[in-house]
Chains A and B, each alone.
Chain A
């Protein structure tokens, strides 16, 4: 399965945008994590920005960044949102309320609790009435979303925006959820090579082989600390402008093999 990449979005500690993160991901600059900048999610109208939580803002922030270089119009793009944990913040607030006596769940919190909250806000913000799906495959959520987006781009012969995002939940969920670092990333996929294409990738199922890792321990902590960050080796290949064969975590006994071919250093 071949897909073309027309844009990236990225936000994580020490990686404030795709543009600003390229030298680190290419190995030309030292990775210094620090705090993740707050997602601005300017794409959201102010009223919606007040209603939605940090996880939604993260998703919309990186999604919007991926469209910028190609000038793609969000309205016409199909979307695939993928997230391992969902909003731990909303889950915590609702479960805490339900464990109390009045069980007075906030209506806004309730509609924000759905796994597709980010997709819903994206659609409202952009006016996109295109197909939109929201997926989960545990720590393999990035691989599942990448394949879904590529397959959809090929089947419908249209561009598809993939957004992967996860945030560490608050306590006490933090102790039981394997997400320790915030990270969101986005890929704008196209079914054919265009003027904006940064490169291409060939996707396949893999039964064997170990996940592609980072040599830098700090980057590796990011990769393993967030399901969305499992896709960072792919972004690193494009940052370096080097063809690479990657193996991305997905399911027990099944991985996603990605042969990435950047057209030029981006």
Chain B
């Protein structure tokens, strides 16, 4: 794989707006999760809700895209000078040479849920102000980001559930490698909605407390929301996208392979793409959802690839499970660990499950990894691992 430079990255989630807010929370092993107060959902669970989304107003030309998901994207684009960095890149290469590849799982489904609550009692019709293409459509997010940044290069949305916004790195790198773009804005957004809250409840995967990845007493996930973005270029200053590995479990739609077979393949392929030996990687940001099945299977896979000494941690106890935005969010956590010389701990976790096969850090620690890897696994058994290295 042709290495690309991550010249800028940013995002928003329940830890705050922009990477400094995230980092302060991750350094302190602080959780942003709180008891569920989303809309009228009555659920005994914790969520990572972004404060102030309700107050966001999209500017006139973008108003048609208004929905919770695109508001999160808008908040994210405004942090850490990201928008300005993209505009400078646009000046250099031209709008048509910058690709936009976003990941999302549920896009603006909350808008559809609300529209179904306001159906015409006689005809059953959806309200006239419901806009399918700009909100519900899976592509909506890339259309919005493309319009918000004035970009005209190749674009699509990757939607492979919880690996979506990790796979955007692979898709963008291929397009740039083949010469169809000179740079790419990658990332993703996913927003709280009743579909995922009640859907995960039906699978009995919602934790009644802030989630505790890899803990002996873990009992499920805490759903979060947010957006994250990265600017990929052929040259510039910043960490390097070294390799991406993609795989499928070929096992079950919503349960991971018990031995972590697909997870292992994703990590091995990422190492292969980067031409790296396993011991080059100094930190693994685990998918670590805090479900009984994921953490055991992933731990085995990590041990099978890296042995039991490579430090790893799961940060979903801090920011929640951002589903389609988990890949980009945790890629950014891994980038921060790489650039700032500190491996974040596993928030909320008290005592590791004795069956954990890999080395999970409960407390954060100072370290200077040369390479870091982030795992993201989704429904449909879809897996992706991304590796970044120091410049």
Residues of A within 8 A of B (CB): 1, 51, 82, 84-86, 91, 94-99, 103-107, 110-117, 119-121, 123-124, 126-138, 140-141, 144-145, 147-148, 151-152, 154-155, 171-173, 175-178, 205, 207, 251, 253-254
User: Is there an interface contact between A177 and B132, defined as CB atoms closer than 8 Å?
Assistant: yes
Jot down 27 A-B pairs with beta carbons below 8 A, ordered by A: A86-B138, A95-B116, A104-B202, A105-B198, A105-B199, A107-B199, A111-B203, A113-B199, A115-B105, A116-B161, A119-B248, A119-B382, A120-B382, A126-B250, A128-B250, A131-B247, A132-B382, A133-B158, A133-B167, A133-B171, A133-B246, A134-B159, A135-B157, A135-B159, A148-B156, A172-B124, A172-B125
User: Which residues B176-198 have CB closer than 8 A to chain A?
Assistant: 177-180, 194-195, 198
Q: Are A176 and B202 in contact (CB under 8 A)?
A: no
- Residues from chain B with a CB closer than 8 A to the CB of A177 are 132
Assess whether B275 is interfacial by the CB under 8 Å rule.
no
For the complex with contacts A84-B139, A95-B112, 14 further pairs of A-B residues with Cβ separation under 8 Å are A1-B178, A106-B202, A107-B199, A110-B202, A111-B203, A114-B159, A114-B161, A114-B378, A120-B381, A132-B248, A134-B159, A138-B143, A144-B154, A251-B155
Residues of A within 8 A of B177 (CB): 151, 155
Residues from chain A with Cβ under 8 Å of B159 in the complex: 86, 114-116, 134-136
Q: Which residues of chain B are near A129, meaning CB under 8 Å? A: 247-250, 261-262, 265
- Tell me the minimal C-beta distance from B230 to chain A in angstroms: 18
Q: A129-B247, A131-B247 are in contact. Are A138 and B130 (CB under 8 A)?
A: no
Instruction: Judge whether A98 and B152 touch: CB under 8 Å.
Output: no
Q: By the criterion CB–CB under 8 Å, are B180 and A1 in contact?
A: yes
Residues of A within 8 A of B158 (CB): 133-135
Contact status B160-A173, CB under 8 Å: no
Bound Cα distance from A226 to B348, whole angstroms: 48
- Contact residues in B for A171 (Cβ distance below 8 Å): 124
- Shortest CB–CB separation between residue B65 and chain A, in angstroms? 13
**Residues of chain B contacted by A138 (CB below 8 angstroms):** 133, 137, 139, 143
CB distance from B290 to the nearest CB of A (A): 19
In the complex, chain A residues whose CB is within 8 Å of the CB of B379: 111, 114, 116, 120
A141 proximity list for chain B (CB < 8 A): 139, 156
CB proximity of A149 to chain B, nearest CB, Å: 10
Contacts of A105 in B (CB 8 A): 195, 198-199, 201-202
Would you call A173 and B142 a contact (CB within 8 A)? no
Q: Which 3 A-B pairs have CB atoms at the shortest separation, nearest pair first?
A: A120-B380, A115-B159, A110-B199
Whether a CB of chain A sits under 8 angstroms from the CB of B35 is no
* One of B209-217, B251-259, B281-289 at the interface: B251-259
A177, B152: Cα distance in complex, Å:
24
Is A148 a contact partner of B248 (Cβ separation < 8 A)?
Answer: no
Q: Which of B137, B143, B202, B249 has the most CB atoms of chain A within a 10 A radius of its CB? A: B202
Q: Which residues of B contact A207 (CB under 8 A)?
A: 96
B195 & A94 in contact (Cβ 8 Å cutoff): yes
Q: Is the interface of A mostly helix, strand, loop or mixed?
A: mixed
Bits for B368-391, please: 1 = Cβ < 8 Å to A, else 0.
Answer: 000000000011111000000000
Q: Are A103 and B250 in contact (CB under 8 A)?
A: no
In angstroms, Cα B101 to Cα A135, docked, is 10
Q: Are B116 and A98 in contact (CB under 8 A)?
A: yes
| A144 CA / B157 CA spacing, docked (Å) | 9
Q: A98-B116, A106-B202, A123-B248 are in contact. Are A205 and B126 (CB under 8 A)?
A: no
- Known contacts A115-B138, A116-B380, A151-B180; is A253 also within 8 Å of B156 by CB? no
Check A151/B203 contact, CB under 8 A, given A95-B112, A114-B380, A172-B126.
no
The residue in chain A whose Cβ has the minimal distance to the Cβ of B105 is A114
Q: Does B93 contact A (CB under 8 A)?
A: no
Q: Which residue of B lies closest to A48 (CB)?
A: B253
Q: Given A113-B195, A124-B252, do A136 and B154 touch, yes or no (CB 8 Å)?
A: no
Q: What's the Cα separation between A128 and B28 when bound, in Å?
A: 42
Interface centre among A127, A133, A171 (most CB of B within 10 A): A133
Q: Which residues of B contact A103 (CB under 8 A)?
A: 194, 198
B174 touches A (CB below 8 Å): yes
A69 to chain B, nearest CB (A): 24
Given the complex of chains A and B, what is the CA–CA distance between A154 and B1 in angstroms?
A: 12
Q: Which residue on B lies nearest to A118, using beta carbons? A: B380
Provide the residues of chain B in CB contact with A116, threshold 8 Å.
159-161, 378-380, 382
